[in-house]
Amino acid sequence: MTASIDKPRTNVPQFTTERQFSAIEAEVRRAIERVLASNWFVLGNELQTFEQEFAHYCGVSECVGVGNGTDAIELALRACGIGAGDEVIIPAFTANFTALAVTATGATPVLVDVSAETATLDPARIALAITGATKGIVPVHLYGQPADMDAINAIAKQHSLWVVEDVAQAHGATYRGQPVGSLGDLGAFSFYPTKNLGAYGDGGAVVTDNPDLAARLRVLRHGGIAEGYMSVVKGRNSRLDELQAAILRAKLPHLTVWSERRREISRRYTEAFSHLEGLETPLEGAERYHVYHLYAIQSATRDALASYLAERGIGTKVHYPHALHQLDAYPEWKEFAGQFPVAEQLARTVLSLPMFPELTDDDVNAVCNGVRGFFEDSRNGSRARTE
Ligand SMILES: *Cc1c(COP(=O)(O)O)cnc(C)c1O
């Protein structure tokens, strides 16, 4: 096969694990070898040590490793006693997995719109959604930005509700100097490979400062089994295995530097795009350390922008093209069309640009030039109109 001459020379993926693996390959291989040599694969030393290290990282006393982030949310809610007949408030704009985790407990998710500034749960709208059946709130730190936790915790306290943070996208973010995951009653993390701290497979964890909740989680994740093989509750089988725990231990010491690099890249993007008309850069809420799991711009012409960038070898993705009430899996929510205007607006306009710590300065410049090129071309009217 011969290379086509008009193929773009630029190749900047929206995300890849490849470059990070090259950088830390020796450490990861040592971790894997350690597990193989130990002959112990589930619920062993690696998990126990990772749980201590990750709890410390989150500024809490307890961490319980589970199979994935969805299970982490589900089991955290179940540890609070939430289940059938209960209602749990979640944002209308998040990964579908947040809603799935709530339904897996038997409880009903209740959608609340997000704030236009931060794309996280809008505290001003929560009170209206509270009923006698409401038992919990699951704020999502979307794209790496902490939700407005002071306001959310105040409402939760007033109505005696549990707060389970969905921290799948925000490992290491802080809110008023406090690490996310430590702000609610429990924090549920995902270590899916694309996340800021990613395993090489599925993984998740729940963190908390409450030892009783942690003890319940340890029973729930392991078949509901307590002492003496007595199954005390219909639990789940959902554990973070030794290989993934060892790999996460190899990666955790790098996380702070990786978050800093994500923020540096986001600053460059925001600077480069600040003067562009027709594009909105992500806003950082006050007193937040945003860790930019994703750098999502908003544009009414995002589909045309995505195609333009793809032609130039720059990858993008849409997180997410639908608000939760627009998903076919939830026909019961279709009647809410028009009721969550911010979520619907985000679904129409967001576009995630390349974002991972191993992007080079040249990559970042290529993205900046690509995006600027699109808006300059369209201003000059040289772009064929797609609408
Ligand atoms: C990834 C993600 C989840 C689910 O995590 P898994 O490990 O894939 O189960 C939940 N919520 C949000 C916001 C996510 O981004």
Q: Return all residues near 99 (Cβ < 8 A) that are at least 6 apart.
A: 90, 109, 324, 330
Q: Residue 157 burial (CB < 10 Å; 0-12/13-18/19+)? A: exposed
Residue nearest to atom 6 of ligand 1 (CA): 69
Is the CB of residue 232 less than 8 Å from the CB of residue 330? Answer: no
Q: What confidence tens digit (pLDDT) does each residue in 154-179 have?
A: 999 999 999 999 999 999 999 999 99
In this prediction, residue 246 carries a pLDDT of 98
DSSP string of 210-272, one letter each residue:
-HHHHHHHHHHTBTTB-GGG-B-S---B----HHHHHHHHHHGGGHHHHHHHHHHHHHHHHHH
Probe residue for ligand 1, chosen from 71, 73, 169, 221 as the CB with the greatest number of ligand atoms within 8 Å: 169
Categorize the per-residue pLDDT at 230 as very low, low, confident or very high, splitting at 50, 70 and 90: confident
Residue nearest to atom 7 of ligand 1 (CA): 69
Model confidence, pTM? 0.96
Helices (H) then strands (E): counts for the chain: 12, 12
Which structural domains are found in the chain, ordered by start? 18-253 (3.40.640.10), 255-377 (3.90.1150.10)
Residue nearest to atom 2 of ligand 1 (CA): 168
Please compute the mean of the pLDDT values over residues 365-386 and round it to a whole number.
Answer: 83
In this prediction, residue 381 carries a pLDDT of 72
Alpha carbon of 1 to ligand 1 centroid (Å):
40
| The ligand 1 atom nearest the CA atom of 71 | 9
Alpha carbon of 76 to ligand 1 centroid (Å):
14
The residue with tokens 């639908």 is 322
CA atoms within 13 A on the CB side of 244: 23
Quote the strand ranges of 21-172, DSSP E.
Answer: 62-66, 87-91, 108-112, 134-137, 162-166
Alpha carbon of 168 to ligand 1 centroid (Å):
5
Q: Is 162 helix (H, G, I), strand (E, B) or coil?
A: strand
Pocket of ligand 1 (CB under 6 A): 68-70, 94-95, 97-98, 140, 166, 168-169, 190, 192, 202, 204
Q: What is the C-alpha to C-alpha distance for residues 145 and 282, in angstroms, rounded to an integer? A: 10
Q: What is the C-alpha to C-alpha distance for residues 59 and 198, in angstroms, rounded to an integer? A: 20
Categorize the per-residue pLDDT at 9 as very low, low, confident or very high, splitting at 50, 70 and 90: confident
